[in-house]
Structure 1
Amino acid sequence: MVTRTVGALTALALAACTAISPLANAQDDNFAQGNGESHGRPVKVMIISMFGPEGQVWLDKLGPWQDIPVAGLSPDYPNIHCNRQDICVMTTGMGHTNAAASTMALAFSSRFDLRHTYFMVAGIAGIDPIQGTVGSAAWAKYLVDFGIQWEIDGREIPPGWNTGYLGINTKSPSEKPPLDYRTEVFQLNTRLADTAFALSRHVVLADNMDAQNARAKYSYAPANRPPTVIQCDTLAGDTWWSGTKLGERARDWTKILTDNKGVYCTTQQEDNSTYEALKRAASVHRVDLNRVAVLRAGSDFDRPYDGQTSADNLLNYAAQGGFSIALENLYRAGNPLVQDIVSHWGEWRNGVPQR
């Protein structure tokens, strides 16, 4: 259940991105091309956003930028934006298909040397009120695909089942599937996730009155408390959903696929496909999978409060006030990692430092 306001906000963000180009054109060509080696422009940190407003929060704060076009990116977001600190921002387009195609185009482009690059996926998401609240920013250790399941119509499930979902080629909802697709679950570098959390855990996050009012309708913590930086895992699926029963399945599915090691807390559309694209590039030594971090900020609750319907929670998600603060909190929670990497590159170049 990923909150995406794709009307006027996205149009404004696209216009803002376009407005950067004259500034970029005034920059020295060497800025775009890096050191001129055959591997392309070196990048220390690549921030991966999925739609305009997610990328714009970085573009507004870390410029000036050089626009670098890359063949195969989304026609809505055809450029990678890079600054003089070797921080770059890309926007993939929303959903599994766009994320995979754009990330693959970047990873195999000759314009960049990504062999030592740290990738930070930074996007908004629905959030489980048992683990966080609107505005919370969550660093993940596991990426779980919610879409790769069998589904039986919920009105026709067998007696004794609590859901119509089950793993492909299994016999019950509680059985772990054989993982034949090889993209059902990924584990991220724990040291990187822990370092990112340690650098950001005490950051003061943005908040607003609408979000506070939405939280107050939940009778339990942390749903009804201010947002904080947390650690828990993220679930990908192109279906934007809302509901207590679906939320329970999300929790159970995460535990099944991670052998009870993962804890579900955010739901989005892209991260398994983004990671798989990077994995393909890593197989030919173009990127290092130990340098991938995933940050998701809660823009809306994935299930209703007591007395609210799931339909009302979904149809009126914008009233929760989480959209703008989730975007801001991506920057507040993610920037400490970004700045630590570029400011202490000697420590980070050969891998995540031990601290």
Structure 2
Amino acid sequence: MNVKALLKQVPNRRTRRNLPVARTALSIAVAASCTFGVCLPGIAQDSDAAGRPAGSGNGRDVKVMIISMFGPEGQVWLDNLGPWKAIKVPGLSPDYPEVHCNRQEVCVLTTGMGHSNAAASLMALTFSDRFDLRRTYFMIAGIAGIDPMQGTLGSAAWAKYLVDFGIQWEIDAREKPDSWPSGFLGINTKSPSGKPPLDYRTEVFALNAKLADTAFALSRNVTLADTSAAQLARAKFNYPPANQPPEVIQCDTLAGDTWWSGKYIGERARYWTKLLTDNKGTYCTTQQEDNATYEALKRAASTGRVDLSRVAALRSGSDFDRPYDGQSASDNLVNYAAQGGFGPAIENLYRAGNPLVQDIVTHWGEWRDGVPSR
């Protein structure tokens, strides 16, 4: 990537009045080096006076950083992997102002829920000098709604793609053209079937497939938690895997701050994931934060503070994203807690995620320089 050449090509447009030319061109260079949001190394890395990458000081080494979004998601790790040392980090959520780290150099961060909290907390973490995160493996571990055609209550899904469901145009379904399957369409497209130009550069990210496959291989045979309430809820579906016991699976996750429920939005979720991943991804879980989390990590990676090839995403099904036959979409949404999936989904974050955590810390010599080939 010839950044100097790009500097000469910056158009004289509105952005030049707000930012120095060099900064604008550099952002273009970084974006141009990314495919599905995965950036090549060596772009836009800051350094200190000695020429070392930023974040390479005397901060605490971390082998695994577990990213949870709210209290119970983090607590399941705190209950199982202690004792812990609490480290305050300026800029974290006031509800969760500390990162907890144990003797194995495993840490737990709780960001707060939603896009804004996730992005702000990850920026505060990654630009803090209290940690050296250059070799850290980041594991997003949170609960989600789940597509009953891909999983069930308590299923734990490792993703290869993070897709943002919120960056779309929308027309109220009561006003959409009759030929449209829903009121959603990509920004700057002409119909729901058009792929948008991805101008935001956060619409879709591809995770390290080798890491996702390794995580799945390590956890696929674990025994997952279940409850009688979840069993009763899933039995109302007349097809698998919705009516089957939970398993560890591989499929992709969709982010958006609006909680939704229903067949038609669910169909859009499936289609949108296929559209943005060029038919490579398969939608199965819906949550709020993961694209925001990854974008914050990507910005830290552009300064050499983190390694984007070391990010994994695990989401467990706490409720179905659409109703069973005979149930209304509104009942499925407002009574989501009655499905009984919350408890096993929380527990299964630990059961499905811990094999990867323990393999990394136990065999650090194999993992230190990247995901091992096995």
- After TM superposition, the score normalised by the length of structure 1 is 0.89
Q: Within 1, Cα distance between the matches of 2:57 and 2:320?
A: 47
Q: Within 2, Cα distance between the matches of 1:323 and 1:350?
A: 36
Whose Rg is larger? 2
How far does residue 158 in structure 1 lie from its aligned partner after superposition? 1.1
In structure 2, the partner of 1:196 is 215
Q: Is residue 251 of structure 1 aligned with residue 270 of structure 2?
A: yes
Query: Aligned with 1:173: secondary structure?
Result: coil
Query: Aligned with 1:245: secondary structure?
Result: helix
In structure 1, the partner of 2:351 is 332
Q: Within 2, Cα distance between the matches of 1:262 and 1:39?
A: 40
How far does residue 167 in structure 1 lie from its aligned partner after superposition? 0.3
* Residue type at the aligned position of 1:300: D
* Residue type at the aligned position of 1:79: E
How far does residue 202 in structure 1 lie from its aligned partner after superposition? 0.3
Q: Is residue 89 of structure 1 aligned with residue 108 of structure 2?
A: yes
Query: Aligned with 2:253: secondary structure?
Result: strand
- The 5-angstrom pairing of residues 233-312 of structure 1 reads 233-312=252-331
- Aligned mate of 2:365, from 340, 346, 351: 346
- The 5-angstrom pairing of residues 1-355 of structure 1 reads 38-355=57-374
* Residue type at the aligned position of 1:149: Q
Q: Within 1, Cα distance between the matches of 2:280 and 2:86?
A: 41
- For structure 1, the residue ranges without an aligned partner over 5 or more in a row are 1-36
Query: Aligned with 2:215: secondary structure?
Result: helix
Q: Within 2, Cα distance between the matches of 1:149 and 1:163?
A: 12
Q: Within 2, Cα distance between the matches of 1:223 and 1:85?
A: 37
Q: Within 2, Cα distance between the matches of 1:319 and 1:111?
A: 42
- After TM superposition, the score normalised by the length of structure 2 is 0.85
How far does residue 39 in structure 1 lie from its aligned partner after superposition? 3.7
Could you say what the CA RMSD is over the residues aligned between the two structures, in angstroms? 0.6
Deviation digits for residues 43-95 of structure 1 (CA, Å, limit 9, x no counterpart): 00000000000000000000000000000000000000000000000000000
How far does residue 266 in structure 1 lie from its aligned partner after superposition? 0.1
Query: Aligned with 1:287: secondary structure?
Result: coil
Q: Give aligned pairs, total.
A: 319
Q: Within 2, Cα distance between the matches of 1:320 and 1:354?
A: 40
* Residue type at the aligned position of 1:163: S
Q: Within 1, Cα distance between the matches of 2:373 and 2:135?
A: 17
Deviation digits for residues 135-174 of structure 1 (CA, Å, limit 9, x no counterpart): 0000000000000000011101113111100000000101
